[in-house]
Amino acid sequence: MKPRITVVGSVNMDLVFRTPRMPAVGETLHGHEFCQIPGGKGANQAVAAARQGAQVSFIGAVGDDGFGSFSRDCLAAEGMELSHLARVAGTATGVAGILVDDSGSNSIVLAAGANATLTAAQVEAATAAIAGAQLLVCQLETPLPTVTRAIEIARAQGVKVILNPAPAQDLTDALLAQVDYLILNETEASQLSGITVTDQISAKAASEQILQRGTATVLLTMGEHGALITDEAGSQFIPAVKVDVVDTTAAGDTFVGAFAVGLANGLSVLDASREAQYTAALTVTKLGAQTSIPQRQQVLDFMAVRKAA
Does 231 qualify as catalytic in the annotation?
Answer: no
Half-sphere exposure of 155 (CA within 13 A, CB side): 16
Helix (H, G, I), strand (E, B) or coil at 109: strand
120 labelled binding-site residue: no
Select which of 173, 199, 253, 271 is catalytic: 253
The CA-CA-CA angle for residues 32, 77, 42, to 5°, reads: 70
Q: What is the crossing angle of helices 269-283 and 296-308, to 10°?
A: 100
97 labelled binding-site residue: no
288 labelled binding-site residue: yes
Contacts of 199 (CB under 8 A, 6+ apart): 225
Beta strands in 134-257 (DSSP E): 135-138, 160-163, 181-185, 217-221, 227-231, 234-238
214 labelled binding-site residue: no
222 labelled binding-site residue: yes
63 labelled binding-site residue: no
42 labelled binding-site residue: yes
Q: Which residue in 196, 9, 31, 142 sits closest to 97, CA to CA? A: 31
132 labelled binding-site residue: no
84 labelled binding-site residue: no
249 labelled binding-site residue: yes
Can you tell me the distance from the alpha carbon of 187 to that of 209, in angstroms, rounded to the nearest whole number? 15
204 labelled binding-site residue: no
Q: What is the crossing angle of helices 186-193 and 200-212, to 10°?
A: 50
Can you tell me the distance from the alpha carbon of 94 to that of 11, in angstroms, rounded to the nearest whole number? 6
234 labelled binding-site residue: no
What number of other Cβ atoms are within 10 A of residue 27's Cβ? 8
101 labelled binding-site residue: no
Binding residue ranges for substrate: 12-14, 40-44, 141, 253
Binding residue ranges for ATP: 185, 221-226, 252-253
Binding residue ranges: 12-14, 40-44, 141, 185, 221-226, 247, 249, 252-253, 283, 286, 288, 292
Q: Which residues are catalytic?
A: 253
Binding residue ranges for K(+): 247, 249, 283, 286, 288, 292
